[in-house]
Structure 1
Amino acid sequence: MKTHFTLKDLFKLSGKKGDPMGSEESCIYFDGKIAAAAGHHATLAIDCHQRIGEPILVSVKDLKTALTVAPDLTLWERDGYLLANGVRVPRVLAATVVPPQTMEILELERAHWRSIVRPFRIDGGLWKQLMPAMAGNDIRFYLNGAFMDFSTGAIVTVDGNRLHLIEGAIPVVQLPPEHLRGIIIPSGMVKLLSAVGGVQESFVLEKRPGAPTHVVAGDTDKLPERAICFAVANGRFRIRTIASDNYPNYREPFERNRSHPVAICLDVPATSALKTVARVAGCNTNYDGITIEGAGSRMRVSHLDRISQEIALGETVSKPFTALVRGGYLMNAIDAAGSFGVSVWMRYSPEDGRGIYVGAEDFHAIVMTMKDEVDEEGESIAGTEKAEEKPLSTVGN
């Protein structure tokens, strides 16, 4: 858990290029009260009182030089020059270079923004459990992040082949009807929030009708802009959300899969066997599928002919079944579920056959099954190429 942010944390967010600040190189923004860094989707600010007349940008390179003189930064102006810990450094007036889309997130003028979700708290540890199913570079841009569904109180990630969902993570709020019923936080910011952890204070804003807009024109430029703000320790994140009026109808596969008839409580021996076989499958760069077979009171887990383990179950499965699934995906789901409760359940339907459900308490995951194609001699062609996967529905709301 992050307990204190410093200039070094701002350096990391600013990256290697200064595009978000309108500069040729990475810079930090100072206005006398705060220091802030900007990425393409967000800003991070910390209190940093300095004796300067107006907002300026100072390059990360020059700030690092100044911090070799003293661990804490002190800026002051003298004879028309800027001194950083006594080192003369160049600076640029922020008003002359910072793009409007960055400046408006830094300032968040009340005249331009309205609150649509009042302050609430979220457990920063939840992001880690959602990240495995989060897309990062999908052509369906709305999948490249975490969806906070304020109509149900759930946070969900979907990458087309799996789904991770946490219920009761956020308050249920009726949002304005002209937009998506929630917000989508970009994947890069979800990763950062996960690394920060801790209790995260948050609220959501929406651009007021008629307020100036700086989004790039396109299919989503007519949607109201939204931003989510997080306060963690002494850091304040302001994140521009992904504008979209579309998101997969995740409730349908979620409700269908969690009621599957075959239910297995994954005790320690069963979990250990699944993880062992999955690790072996993960070493196969061509094919990482594992086969799960259940009948009576026993379950068998195998990867091709390389490894096979059989487990005695504590109860009898209602129907015999065989399912083929990517081992790494299943392990991600089991590990995430294990952090929510002692009893982790796996469900499957031989008749449906489209996905395996894993859940515990408020956490739920669906891992889509793989299609096993066998040639005439009975040898799986998955050894030379990855088996096909059945994607989750991407029907819009």
Structure 2
Amino acid sequence: MPEPGVLTFVAPRGAKKPPRHLADLTPAQRKEAVATLGEKPFRAKQLSQHYFARYAHDPAQWTDIPAGARGRLQEALLPDLMSVVRHISCDDGATRKTLWRLFDGTLVESVLMRYPDRVTMCISSQAGCGMNCPFCATGQAGLDRNLSTAEIVHQIVDGMRAVRDGEMGTADDAAAHGAPTRLSNIVFMGMGEPLANYRRVVDSIRRLTDPEPDGLGLSQRGITVSTVGLVPAIHRFADEGFKCRLAVSLHAPDDELRDTLVPVNTRWKVREVLDAAFDYAHRSGRRVSIEYALIRDVNDQAWRGDRLGRLLKGRHAHVNLIPLNPTPGSRWTASRPEDERAFVDAIAAHGVPVTVRDTRGQEIDGACGQLAASER
């Protein structure tokens, strides 16, 4: 049964479920699944090694598994979940957006970004989004369905392989410039509200952070989970004991405006959302990131920056201002530079750390949901 007060999504009657995949299963469940196929339980660890450590999806590469068993194991535990529709790159190849087609034709997006000191991947947790924020391309498209654990994980596995194989610049090039050659940061900030697909997102975090070969062996501290403020789910997430970072998409410090920009605010108000976020910060030891898309003449007034600073003063929080990446035909657009500077100064005056996010991907439909919308 879902926890009272947590928003859940029920798939339409007759909707097909994604096929079972290795990444949907715990290590113990993988052994059971392999044994059901008539194979020795240790084959589960071999398959996990190929998928999570070697990113080897082609059974021809599984030379430690008998040829006669490979096809059966692939069909049962490593089916094709998603295929690349296209990649679009910019920033001299340092940013690559991928449009995926899932097994049922649904479209989702992910973005891979190489920086001098890290490689970050922004991933989707739902196809579409049900939060209905009016300035967001994904929110305006509505929610198609939740992604399975494996559909979430596979985005990262493919990103790990792409970085390893030099698709974001060769390893030699990266080494020559002191740049990392492994994916290190994951942000659940693509399509969807992660905490509305709670169980699958939590399970995917475990797959990402379990040591190889049970998982990808990533650090929880390199994972950020974004939410518009589903208060009961934030408290539940704190109970998991993760060291992930929580990012709250606030976008307004006052309920009157936030009710219109983030409709879920009519259910959980700004102070309730921030109290839940501060509780997570206290219990996890991680600073909360307050995400704030600056929208010209809507939420970028200096007095709102002052109010936000007052709400966060003395708290374990950091403000991440996001110049809005406008969607085609939208009336929403980015703030003027002088208004952005005044907003930053108003927050900083209260001693609250504040930065303006490096904007990437504007020329490749960088805002989440744009590429899927154009494909439709």
TM-score bucket (shorter structure): under 0.3
**Higher Rg:** 1
Give the structure with the larger helix fraction: 2
Give the structure with the larger strand fraction: 1
Q: When the two structures are superposed, what TM-score results if normalisation uses the length of structure 2?
A: 0.26
